[in-house]
Structure 1
Amino acid sequence: MPRLAISPEFLRGLGALSRPVRRDVAVAVRRFLLNASAAPHPERVRNCRDPRVATLRLADRHRGVVVRQEDVYWLLTVLPDAEAWSYAQRHRVGVNTAIGIVETWDAEALERIEPALRRASETGGRPLFENWCDNDLLNIGIDPRLLPLLRLMTSESHLAAVEPLLPHSQYAPLAALARGGSLAAAWRELDACRSRVADEIDPEDLLAALRRSPDRPRSPPTPPSSSASSRCPAGARSSIPRSTRTPTGRRTSSRCSSPGARAPGRRSSHCTGRPCWPARPPARCCWSRSRRASRPSCPRGST
């Protein structure tokens, strides 16, 4: 059976979909995990930057973009069909060689910005990273495919222009060097990007990189069982405010929201912790009047 990791970006994209589409996506993901007969299967992406990227048909006219390695599938996002295919073609996934976390790149956007940087470098100016050789940059986890682009930069504005296209673990150490910092300052920025220290880093091990990432993808939540309330302690159940409907049709809470709040329908200025019901008009008692009216009257003087 496949193992699935879910990116936070996928959850944000799922929340933006309509309710019927969200339901279909959830059903498709469950079938994929159970390896059912009607489960979606990975489809290859033509002209992609990363051969591990594939798509899954999760709903009508909606696809999920996944990165697969053996039996591990990392679900990146869910988009309409055309946008999902474009996302899968543009992006590639790698592992930072210095701290071992996973990184997602918009490779196509970086390729489009290279001609503009080349024209800007021809106008003159000192290279931004001329004080550091390629080995220095590689030691702080800079991707080798990014080095030609860095050698074209002559000002901090050039680096700021590509910030949205770079993973934070790539931009943070470069920004420290561009401000005039040392390699130690770049390492301090890089240390803040990881959740734990890796003893050995394998750039091809996607699962280990996902586990080391601070925003580590989450596994699908298990549906709550019907016996969850029976396992809840009695004290915990009594402390959860419950919403009830009063005889007058108003919805109230069984407990006041704050100790000093005035409960509706109560004359006391403090909450006693008992259920707070709104005041009801006093019921009119007509029993004695109807009883006198129904009793036969006796003539005067009769015994």
Structure 2
Amino acid sequence: MPQLAIHKDFLHEFAKLEKPVQNRVTEVFAKFEQATHTGLHLEKITGARDDRFRTIRIDQFWRGVVLAPTSGDTYTLLRVLPHDDAYDWAKRRKASVNTATGGIEIRDVAAIDASLPHMERMAQNTQDRLFAHVKDSDLERLGVDEQTLAFARTLTASFQLDAARGLLPPVQWDVLYGLAAGLSPEQVWQELGAQITGEVDPEDLDAAVERSRDRVLLVEGPAELMAALEHPFDLWRIYLHPVQRAVVEASYRGPARISGGPGTGKTVVALHRAHRLARAGGRVLLTTFTSTLAEALDSSLRLLAETDGAGDSATVLERVRVEHIDRVAHRVFREAHGQPDLLSAQRERRLWEQVIGELGLDLSPAFLAEEWRQVVLSRGVTTADEYLAAKRTGRGRGLSASHRARVWQAVSAFGERSAERGLWTHETIAEEAARLLEARDDKPFDHVVVDEAQDLHPGQWRLLRAAVAEGPDDVFIAGDTHQRIYGPQVSLAEMGIDIRGRSSKLRINYRTTAQILGWSLGLMHGQTVDDMDGGLDSVAGCRSEMRGDEPLLSGFTTWEAELRHLVDTVRGWTETGVLPAEIGVAARSNRAVDQAVSALEDSGLPARALAKGTADGESVAVGTMHRMKGLEFRCLAVVGAGGRQLPAPHSVTPEEEDPGAHARDLLRERSLLFVACTRAREQLYVSWHQAPSPFIEALLDKN
């Protein structure tokens, strides 16, 4: 029976079509099975380079281009274009099967053939060839076919390869890109590992389409077609890179983790993983650090469930609880103890000051609070002997035994005062919730999936470990420690979560242009960042295949001048067709956010502070760098990135008071800027007044 498949490139184009044309496309292909069965509409193309291409009539002006199999039943919709453009597009291209991955490939044969003579003439003038160091046999083993090989041998510079990206089959271009970047054939082979299939029949298009789930969606009937076309921009729902899909579908013997730089699709993997586990009948907790991110996960999960062709979306959603981690802890706590009396930051500081005064200690409240959180709570210390033996990695200031005794005296007194008055913090609530769940034989969940895992503190990890019994697929973790802006350094192994041998990394950025990504990665260059598993993390190899403009950097003498230029920049984006809702503005403080909103509104531009609710879909979204977490915008302006604002003085512990906390605070402030800048998809604008932030100044000095 005929089956329709939809190529990813088609959905990109479908989203840009006018609504009447979209409606007509939906009507035609909803009846595709009957049309192909009766032989209607599909027409051969005279003069086509690939005689498997067909056109299908949408209306008098529009035509669809379909790849029909030589044998088999799978028809792949490639494009919908105006009549003449559709025929021209089809006549220039051929379909083939990649010999390494077995996936389907579409290439512009005419453009490659036309460019080869010119490329060969240019190459004659230089002895340096881009791939002179790579053997033909290695290229062929990596799936590079005869035509692409001939083209590759003419290349003399990497910019030529960049320019050819739209001509060559994507996987073959990825192979050449990796080799040009300095990877060995063996390393490129490892990158292809999730895609390699073994023996491949180059004529079996049905099998090739089935293997191409990163680029092709097999549609099971009109309902699934409608679901795919209803949200054409949300391609993450139906197209996964083979590395992502391998992680989503894997069965693990215990906890597992996916890591990767910004925009590499970690959240997408977490969502698909939670959805898959729920479809298999498991009770799933999908959690993250903040309520805003949890709301976004819930919306995305519902969208993913709607796309699922199995027809059991309601049941799947019932099996998944989406909650941010503090809400999980407070819910468990309230079930046993009722509503807690929470210590605010001000009340907590006053309690530390009271303890210091009573004991006559020469220690600061800030140091004691950090020592309590980073050592005592993090390591589950409950006695003086345990504290004397506890590791204090990263604390910066060494303590003698006598100093430790005084610190423990203060920590013990703080705990006693809190208990006497019935006072709690978010950290102690998480610890108590973990204790309550640990005592239960009937765990509330079969699986836990964690997004933005780098921002959780040890008590929250102990809570999650206690929420699910140890076993296959019990805990799945997605995160990037370079984007840590809340939580402390954590060793998962010490939390009872062993991911050894079950860790994968994503490297391809799907959100940000290479220019924005490269500049943003420079902010983190040379920083020592842990990997939550006893080692160091790295963003090396993180790349984007999208090209765009370099970030714009501007310095001003005053804040008023900076705001005026922000208004001009945002207005310039809107005048080029960017919608206000596609624009974001990030600042370090709430005060700067309010001033930016006022400046935009006074100039007639719609703007809204994220702190006052989610964006309304019609205004420029303005928020603190913290609130940018999990969001993305076509165009983003980062303002107030000056030396007096970033790092924020009130957020950095003085070095003389606590060197360890000082170093962590500086890294956290740097990560904040990194997170904010990587929210931009196409345009990034960064400004400051007076001196730039030292984080930015280091990059300016390099240029």
TM-score range, shorter chain: 0.5 to 0.7
Q: Is the 8 A contact 1:28 1:39 kept in 2?
A: no
How far apart, CA to CA, are the structure 2 residues paired with 1:116 and 1:168? 22
2:151 corresponds to 1:152: no
The amino acid of 1:155's aligned partner reads A
Q: Percent identity?
A: 35
Q: Is the 8 A contact 2:130 2:180 kept in 1?
A: yes
The match for 2:67 is 67
How far apart, CA to CA, are the structure 2 residues paired with 1:232 and 1:188? 39
CA RMSD of aligned residues (A): 2.9
Against the structure 1 CA distance between its residues 175 and 55, is the aligned structure 2 distance closer, same or farther, given a 3 Å change threshold? same
2:186 corresponds to 1:184: yes
The amino acid of 2:43's aligned partner reads E
Q: Is the 8 A contact 1:21 1:60 kept in 2?
A: no
The match for 1:171 is 173
The amino acid of 1:191's aligned partner reads G
Against the structure 1 CA distance between its residues 155 and 17, is the aligned structure 2 distance closer, same or farther, given a 3 Å change threshold? closer
The match for 1:46 is 46
1:8-63 Cα offsets, whole Å, 9 max, x none, are: 22233333323332232222223331238987422111222211111111223110
Ranges in structure 1 where 5+ consecutive residues have no aligned partner: 225-230, 237-259, 262-303
How far apart, CA to CA, are the structure 2 residues paired with 1:103 and 1:232? 36
The amino acid of 2:86's aligned partner reads A
2:199 corresponds to 1:200: yes
SS at match of 2:77: strand
The amino acid of 1:61's aligned partner reads F
How far apart, CA to CA, are the structure 2 residues paired with 1:160 and 1:30? 38
Q: Is the 8 A contact 2:104 2:209 kept in 1?
A: yes
Q: Which has the higher contact order (CA 8 A, sep 6+)?
A: 1
The 10-residue stretch of structure 1 (56-65 or 205-214) with the greater mean CA deviation from structure 2: 205-214
How far apart, CA to CA, are the structure 2 residues paired with 1:107 and 1:39? 29
The amino acid of 1:86's aligned partner reads D
How far apart, CA to CA, are the structure 2 residues paired with 1:47 and 1:152? 28
The match for 2:8 is 8
The amino acid of 1:8's aligned partner reads K
How far apart, CA to CA, are the structure 2 residues paired with 1:78 and 1:152? 33
Q: Is the 8 A contact 2:210 2:218 kept in 1?
A: no
Deviation at 1:100, TM superposition (A): 0.9
How far apart, CA to CA, are the structure 1 residues paired with 2:208 and 2:36? 28
The structure having more radius of gyration, on CA atoms, is: 1
The match for 2:211 is 212
Against the structure 1 CA distance between its residues 165 and 110, is the aligned structure 2 distance closer, same or farther, given a 3 Å change threshold? same
How far apart, CA to CA, are the structure 1 residues paired with 2:11 and 2:157? 37
Q: Is the 8 A contact 1:2 1:35 kept in 2?
A: no
How far apart, CA to CA, are the structure 2 residues paired with 1:84 and 1:12? 16
SS at match of 1:191: coil
Against the structure 1 CA distance between its residues 180 and 16, is the aligned structure 2 distance closer, same or farther, given a 3 Å change threshold? closer
How far apart, CA to CA, are the structure 2 residues paired with 1:216 and 1:34? 21
2:19 corresponds to 1:19: yes
SS at match of 1:131: coil
Deviation at 1:141, TM superposition (A): 0.3
Deviation at 1:169, TM superposition (A): 0.7
How far apart, CA to CA, are the structure 1 residues paired with 2:39 and 2:202? 30
Q: Which one of 141, 144, 147 corresponds to residue 143 of structure 2?
A: 141
SS at match of 2:58: strand
The amino acid of 1:41's aligned partner reads H
**Aligned pairs, number:** 230
Against the structure 1 CA distance between its residues 27 and 180, is the aligned structure 2 distance closer, same or farther, given a 3 Å change threshold? closer
How far apart, CA to CA, are the structure 1 residues paired with 2:127 and 2:181? 16
Q: Is the 8 A contact 1:95 1:203 kept in 2?
A: yes
How far apart, CA to CA, are the structure 2 residues paired with 1:37 and 1:72? 12
Q: Which one of 78, 81, 84 corresponds to residue 82 of structure 1?
A: 84
Deviation at 1:232, TM superposition (A): 5.5
Q: Which one of 107, 115, 118 corresponds to residue 120 of structure 2?
A: 118
How far apart, CA to CA, are the structure 1 residues paired with 2:84 and 2:132? 42
Q: Is the 8 A contact 1:63 1:78 kept in 2?
A: yes
How far apart, CA to CA, are the structure 1 residues paired with 2:12 and 2:131? 36
Deviation at 1:161, TM superposition (A): 2.1
Q: Is the 8 A contact 1:177 1:186 kept in 2?
A: yes
Deviation at 1:84, TM superposition (A): 0.6
Ranges in structure 2 where 5+ consecutive residues have no aligned partner: 228-312, 319-611, 614-703
SS at match of 1:136: helix
The normalised TM-score by structure 1 is 0.67
SS at match of 1:59: coil
How far apart, CA to CA, are the structure 2 residues paired with 1:161 and 1:59? 35
Q: Is the 8 A contact 1:28 1:40 kept in 2?
A: no
Q: Is the 8 A contact 1:56 1:65 kept in 2?
A: yes
Q: Which one of 93, 97, 100 corresponds to residue 98 of structure 1?
A: 100
The amino acid of 1:123's aligned partner reads N
How far apart, CA to CA, are the structure 2 residues paired with 1:93 and 1:183? 25
